[in-house]
């Protein structure tokens, strides 16, 4: 009985409860909602990763010495603001990773059929944007198409003029005079909604922290207001407010307008750039997930066992790193393309095919990028194995693999973490470049690289179609910048050599 009561004190208790809840929801909710769940390979890996991160977070919380560096990070204002921004991206990516197929209207007695179109939760949230497809280009917040079109009038005359959009500002009778007041009204509504959500959220959070620190809520709120807290809550709340207002304004405006215009086939650019978040995140995170086991096992083994093991592993990574990365990726992706082209039967939907290519890209990027980490881990292990505590363990007759697992591995994990966080942003950037070259994600996958690629030639038009590029730039830039700033904080906190200088 006592053991039962103590159970919730174990570090894995709450994370496991959360993970179990998450998986149960993923398995049970789609049938309840009457849709057919679709679990793509990348979806599975993403939720595996989320579960892993939750468990790890629980473990770190329970260990004093592991908590230290993280507390150092949480006290830095810049890192926390970056984290708030990153959180918004992560939530978008996660919502976009829950896929399902909607039921088709049933025709009589036959069994329930499902639409071939795979949607995600994010699609449901952005339903307006997804469906309001115009004919072709339209500028941000426009009410008319971007270029003049030849229209046949009722009396048979032919005229060239700007055609009204189907959805952009559709309720306006006189766009010229009503558009801006209408936009102002919508934006104001967005600001108010955003502020209300923020108020509820921040009040709730403050109340929780007040309870935890056993202080009256008013005192806690005053401390936050004055910036008198260890963790820079004031900055966190402020950035949260800004992000929420931005999001709410974008969403309210997009019910009646195309906030960032439409592209060549009339798709909403804002929708495309938000959907691209998942692609970027998948490439940034799954790549490291794929490469980590190899890099850690091989790197630590090379450093610890020396002799022929070291030679073989060194040969392996020198060979791989001697091939220019882009070319190796290109070669591998070309091979995959041939494979996909010759085995059309393997894939049920186009999304399956695109997903395989995305996963393949992650694996290949992982293969080209594990060498750096492997080399670093080898070097660190070489240093560690000469340390006295490891020699003591050897002298005491501790098994070699136990030494590796208990004494070496925990002491190189900070390098792993630093590299993982640092690699993230360069991987997101790499995706765009690779997609541009034509060896990135599938052309049907929405990604920033594909958006740039599609929009690039339109710069030559006059007047310029700039919005696709600007949208891709803004989202990619904010994700990468936030990731870079956060990564810097992580490196400062975990790399003792650098912290001394700070």
Partner 1 sequence: MFAYIIRRVLYAIPILIGVNLLTFALFFVVNSPEDMARMHLGEKRVTEQAIEKWKQNRGYDKPLLYNVQAEGVQVLTDTIFFTKSVRLFVLDFGSADDGRNIGQDILQRMWPSLAIAIPVFIVGLLVNITFALLLAFFRATYIDIWGVIGCVILMSISTLFYIIGGQYLIGKTLQLVPISGYDFGLNSFKFLVLPVLVGIIGGIGAGTRWYRTIFLEEINRDYVRTARAKGLSELRVLFRHVLKNAMIPILTGAVVVIPLLFMGSLLTESFFAIPGLGAYTIEAIQAQDFAIVRAMVFLGSVMYIVGLVLTDISYTLVDPRIRLN
* Interface residue list for partner 1 (CB under 8 A): 315, 318-324, 326-328, 330-332, 334-335, 337-339, 341-342, 425, 429, 432-433, 436-439, 452, 456, 459, 464, 469, 473, 476-477, 480-481, 484-485, 488, 498, 500-501
Pairing of strands 36-38, 99-103: antiparallel
| Least distance between partner 1 and beta carbon 138 (Å) | 21
Q: What is the rounded distance in angstroms from the CA atom of residue 332 to the CA atom of residue 363? A: 10
Dihedral angle sign, alpha carbons of residues 404, 409, 411, 415: positive
Burial of 4 (0-12, 13-18, 19+ CB in 10 A): exposed
In the complex, minimum distance from the CB of residue 48 to partner 1, in angstroms, rounded to a whole number: 27
As measured in angstroms, the least distance from the Cβ of 324 to partner 1 is: 4
**Distance between CA atoms of residues 43 and 441, nearest Å:** 16
| Of residues 359 and 439, the one with the C-beta less far from partner 1 | 439
Q: Which is nearer to partner 1, 231 or 326 (CB)?
A: 326
Shorter beta-carbon distance to partner 1: residue 245 or 429: 429
Query: How big is the CA angle at 300 (ends 296 and 303), to the nearest 5 degrees?
Result: 145
Is beta strand 114-120 parallel, antiparallel or unpaired with respect to 99-103? antiparallel
Please name which of 461, 294, 299 lies closest in space to residue 380, comparing C-alpha atoms: 299
Closer CB to partner 1, 122 or 483, in the complex: 483
**In whole angstroms, what is the distance from residue 252 CA to residue 269 CA?**
16
Q: Is the peptide bond before 265 cis (omega within 30 degrees of 0)?
A: no
Place of tokens 């009589």: 108
> From the CB of 171, what's the least distance to partner 1, in Å?
36
Residue 128 or 495: the one with the smaller Cβ distance to partner 1 is 495
Alpha helices (H) along 350-466: 350-385, 388-395, 400-403, 409-437, 448-456
CB 435 → partner 1: shortest distance, Å? 10
> Which residue's CB is nearer to partner 1, number 142 or number 432?
432
Task: Report, in Å, the least distance between residue 381 CB and partner 1.
Answer: 21
Reported residue count of the chain is 502
Count of C-beta atoms within a 10 Å radius of residue 413: 13
Closest distance to partner 1 from the beta carbon of 86 (Å): 13
Q: Report the sign of the C-alpha dihedral through residues 248, 98, 201, 90, in that order.
A: negative
Least distance (Å) from partner 1 to the CB of residue 276?
Answer: 13
For residue 135, give the DSSP letter.
S
Closer residue to partner 1 (CB): 274 or 364: 364
- Decide whether 191 or 326 has the Cβ nearer to partner 1: 326
Cβ proximity to partner 1, 38 vs 493, nearer residue: 493
**Considering the complex, what minimum distance in angstroms separates the CB of residue 327 from partner 1?**
5
Here the tokens at position 39 are 């679990």
Closest CA to 377 of 495, 283, 487, 298: 298
């Amino acid at each position: 009985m006592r053991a039962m009561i103590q159970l919730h004190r174990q570090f894995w208790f709450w994370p496991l409860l959360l993970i179990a809840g998450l998986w149960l929801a993923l398995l049970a909710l789609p049938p309840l909602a009457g849709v057919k769940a679709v679990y793509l390979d990348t979806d599975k890996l993403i939720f595996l990763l989320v579960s892993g991160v939750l468990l790890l977070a629980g473990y770190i919380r329970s260990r004093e010495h592991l908590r230290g560096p993280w507390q150092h990070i949480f006290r830095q204002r810049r890192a926390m603001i970056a984290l708030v921004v990153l959180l918004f991206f992560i939530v978008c990516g996660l919502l976009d990773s829950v896929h399902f197929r909607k039921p088709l209207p049933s025709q009589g007695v036959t069994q329930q059929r499902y639409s071939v179109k795979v949607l995600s939760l994010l699609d449901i949230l952005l339903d307006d944007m997804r469906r309001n497809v115009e004919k072709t280009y339209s500028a941000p917040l426009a009410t008319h198409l971007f270029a003049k079109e030849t229209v046949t009038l009722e009396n048979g005359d032919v005229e060239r003029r700007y055609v009204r959009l189907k959805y952009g500002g559709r309720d306006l009778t006189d766009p010229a005079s009503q558009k801006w007041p209408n936009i102002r009204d919508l934006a104001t509504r967005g600001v108010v909604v955003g502020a209300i959500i923020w108020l509820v959220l921040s009040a709730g959070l403050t109340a929780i922290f007040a309870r935890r620190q056993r202080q009256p809520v008013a005192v806690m709120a005053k401390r936050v207001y004055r910036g008198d807290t260890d963790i820079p809550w004031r900055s966190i709340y402020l950035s949260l407010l800004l992000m929420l207002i931005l999001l709410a304004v974008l969403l309210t405006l997009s019910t009646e307008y195309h906030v960032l215009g439409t592209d060549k086939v009339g798709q909403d650019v804002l929708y495309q750039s938000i959907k691209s978040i998942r692609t970027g995140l998948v490439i940034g995170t799954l790549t490291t997930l794929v490469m980590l086991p190899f890099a850690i096992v091989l790197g630590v083994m090379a450093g610890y066992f020396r002799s022929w093991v070291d030679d073989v592993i060194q040969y392996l990574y020198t060979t791989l790193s001697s091939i220019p990365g882009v070319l190796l990726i290109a070669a591998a992706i070309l091979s995959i393309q041939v494979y996909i082209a010759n085995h059309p039967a393997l894939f049920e939907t186009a999304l399956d095919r695109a997903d395989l290519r995305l996963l393949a890209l992650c694996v290949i990027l992982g293969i080209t990028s594990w060498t750096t980490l492997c080399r670093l881990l080898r070097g660190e292990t070489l240093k560690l194995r000469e340390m006295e505590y490891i020699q003591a363990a050897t002298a005491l007759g501790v098994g070699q693999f136990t030494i590796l697992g208990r004494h070496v591995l925990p002491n190189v994990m900070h390098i792993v973490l630093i590299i993982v966080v640092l690699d993230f942003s360069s991987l997101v950037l790499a995706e765009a470049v690779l997609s541009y070259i034509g060896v990135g994600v599938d052309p049907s996958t929405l990604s920033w690289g594909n958006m740039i690629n599609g929009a690039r030639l339109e710069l030559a038009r006059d007047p310029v179609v700039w919005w696709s590029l600007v949208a891709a730039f803004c989202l990619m830039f904010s994700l990468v910048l936030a990731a870079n700033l956060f990564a810097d904080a992580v490196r400062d906190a975990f790399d003792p050599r650098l912290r001394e200088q700070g």
